[in-house]
Chain A
Amino acid sequence: MPLANTATSVPVVVDEVKCIADKGCTVCVDVCPLDVLRISDLTGKAYMKYDECWYCMPCEADCPTGAVTVNIPYLLK
């Protein structure tokens, strides 16, 4: 069976103005227990690639510039 691209709204939001991933920072990507964050090849900024979030917050707590916000996933909000 072929695969579809189903849209999903992701809970982790990155403020691209504050994010310094393009300067080499990978803190949020490093600390995530579920390994769901990546640095975009396009923008050089961090983003949530996989909607597999435990909304636990290390990404937000450890971000050196306060660029990351963890929201409650929509299904349980």
Chain B
Amino acid sequence: MDEIRSGISEVQCDVLVIGGGTAGPMAAIRARKKNPKANVILLEKANVKRSGAISMGMDGLNNTVIPGYATPEQYTKEITIANDGIVDQAAVYKYAQNCYDIIQELDRFGIRFQKNQNGDYDVKKVHHIGTYVLPMPNGETVKKALYRQLKRERVLISNRFMATRLLTGKDGRVAGAICVNTRSAEFLVIRAKAVILCMGAAGRLGLPTSGYLYGTYENAANSGDGYAMAYHAGAGLANLECYQINPLIKDYNGPACAYVAGPFGGYTANNEGRRFIECDYWSGQMMQEFYNELQSGKGPVFLKLNHLAPETVTEIERVLHIVERPTRGRFHSNRGTDYKDEMIEMHISEIGFCSGHSASGVYVDENARTTVAGLYAAGDMASVPHNYMLGAFTNGAFAGEDAVDFVKEVDYADIDAEAIIKEQERVLAPTQRADGIPPNQVEYKARRLVNDYLQPPKVTRKMQLAQRRFEEVRDDMNNAMVARDSHELMRALEVQSILDCADMAAAASLYRTESRWGLYHNRVEYPGRDNDNWFCHTILTKGPDGKPAHAKKPIAPYIIEIEEHERDAYYKQRIVASEAAE
């Protein structure tokens, strides 16, 4: 295993789904359900059984819209306000109208959600305004349940193939993808009438403070390959300057976790043990208050559970230590830290792109269509804001159903034989060198520079320096990086995605000359929002010079009106001193 072999083969399908985490399986399942004759391939860099953000499961649905608790209108309003107004509501509203059906479908798949004594879904309030969080104390079964459905629908699964570039026809329409086997470096060209990208967040962009390259919040396999592939295929990417930054346990990559502990009475506290934010729901505005507290004399920030009854803490631990991030208990026992005895130190995560928690993603409409014909995106990498796991499932379903209709009307786009040869040369270049710089060193340097220069608060001069230094790293990457086996080659390819994302992060952040989304886009020289000039999406594309180009895109007229007095609700998070002292 791992030795580099030559060779290339070609297959074709109607719909190619790339990424077997959360959105991808649902896209493939729904495409096959809608048209059982459609030929659907699900491609995965790892193994569909345990890939993606929910590898070990998930502890809850963070954004359900369940009759009796919330309405699609309320949810659309809440997310519009949480995302500082920069929302095309059609996609959020459509999600909100359909996610309850998806929950029931997941329930039928055998995925268990918390129910109350009457057998109704037991929804909790964590957001600033409405009630949307549905716990999954038995959420470790998600991937197994999905895998059963994939087998049942007879989706063709191809594991350990990494897509490296999309192919497009002369008319710009998607024509398929070029892939390389991560254990043999053999190429596979997949011709497809439609391609659905479900490749997760760009989670290996910033470097965790521990310095461990793989200690990221996101599954470390999510290296931003989908963002890079969409970019090189000519798709538009929306609001990339709206980074993902999350409140985590210090040094451990698990969330604190407000959504699990909050409903039991746990909260985020400063070093005096006091609450300083009203609402623990993740938003840029909340993260700004978190950052302010960290920097103040009242930092660091802690997760406070030690005021709760021991049985309650045990109940919380049962969820936190089994589902989603099960090594958490080991982390605490190594350190001798116990939620029952003391507050647990928290910190902020490295930066990334992820619309699942913020809004940075490949631009999609309410049918999950990107700006490239035949190309779809769903899940953490697509631009529907705050869409979390249930958004990945729901938007994945939209993508699968729309794509399977799209392929009825079209034939395969032409593929360019020369583009395939050029891509093979690009991919294999690091294997052609006898020595040089290994991928892990190139990656460490790129990501260390991301931390040094791109982390908010954002400063123009620092971001310009980042761009200069990224150029130097790119030069090394293109001319000196060496991969000795096919596994290292996979890492070498991931580094190229990471550096593309770093360039996009710098360029997008420089373009928007205002501050918005709290900490996510806090530009020191441009404090405050500038609605006259920047109440719009920013769309980044690959320019004619091969570098990021920018455009403004108007916000689609709201479906659900937001009253003037409601707009800033998420900026009113800080608990004022007199109240806190009570």
Residues of A within 8 A of B (CB): 1-3, 30-35, 38, 49-50, 52-58, 61-62, 70-73, 75-77
Contacts and interface: CB of A to CB of B under 8 A. Distances in A.
B295 interface: no
Interface string B129-151: 00000000000000000000000
Contacts of A38: 1-2
A30 B214 contact: no
21 contacts: A1-B437, A2-B435, A3-B482, A31-B47, A32-B46, A33-B50, A33-B52, A35-B182, A35-B183, A35-B490, A52-B220, A52-B491, A54-B55, A58-B50, A70-B327, A72-B327, A72-B331, A73-B214, A75-B211, A75-B212, A75-B215
Interface string B40-60: 000000110111100110000
A2 B438 CA distance: 10
A69 B17 CA distance: 33
Contacts of B50: 31-33, 56, 58, 62
Nearest to A52: B214
Interface string B198-235: 00000000001011111110011100000000000000
Most buried by B among A54, A61, A70, A73: A54
Nearest to A38: B1
B331 A53 contact: no
Contacts of A49: 487
A10 to B, nearest CB: 12
Contacts of A76: 208, 210, 212, 215, 251-252, 331
Contacts of A72: 252, 327, 330-331, 334
Most buried by A among B51, B55, B482, B490: B55
Given A35-B46, A75-B215, 19 more contacts: A1-B435, A32-B47, A33-B52, A34-B220, A34-B221, A35-B487, A35-B490, A52-B213, A54-B216, A54-B219, A54-B221, A56-B50, A58-B50, A61-B326, A70-B330, A72-B330, A72-B334, A73-B214, A76-B251
A40 B41 CA distance: 32
Given A72-B331, A76-B252, A31 B49 contact: yes
B550 interface: no
Nearest to B332: A72
B160 interface: yes
A54 B214 contact: yes
B436 interface: yes
Nearest to A77: B334
Contacts, number: 96
Given A1-B435, A57-B56, A72-B327, A33 B212 contact: no
B46 A33 contact: yes
A34 B214 contact: yes
Most buried by A among B47, B208, B482: B47
A35 B46 CA distance: 7
Interface of B: 1-2, 46-47, 49-52, 55-56, 160, 182-183, 208, 210-216, 219-221, 251-253, 325-327, 330-331, 334-335, 435-438, 482, 487, 490-491
A72 B249 CA distance: 14
A70 B211 CA distance: 19
A1 B480 CA distance: 9
B251 A33 contact: no
Contacts of B330: 70-72
A61 B438 contact: no
Given A3-B438, A58-B50, A75 B327 contact: no
B435 A30 contact: no
Contact of B160 (A35, A52, A53, A58): A35
Nearest to A59: B50
B327 A57 contact: yes
B47 to A, nearest CB: 6
B334 A33 contact: no
Contact of A33 (B208, B210, B221, B487): B221
Most buried by B among A32, A58, A73: A58
Contacts of A54: 55, 214-216, 219-221, 253
Nearest to B218: A54
A33 B219 contact: yes
A64 B354 CA distance: 35
Contacts of B327: 55-57, 70, 72
A73 B253 CA distance: 12
Most buried by B among A1, A33, A38: A33
A62 to B, nearest CB: 7
Contacts of A50: 487
B219 A73 contact: no
Given A33-B219, A57-B327, A73 B46 contact: no
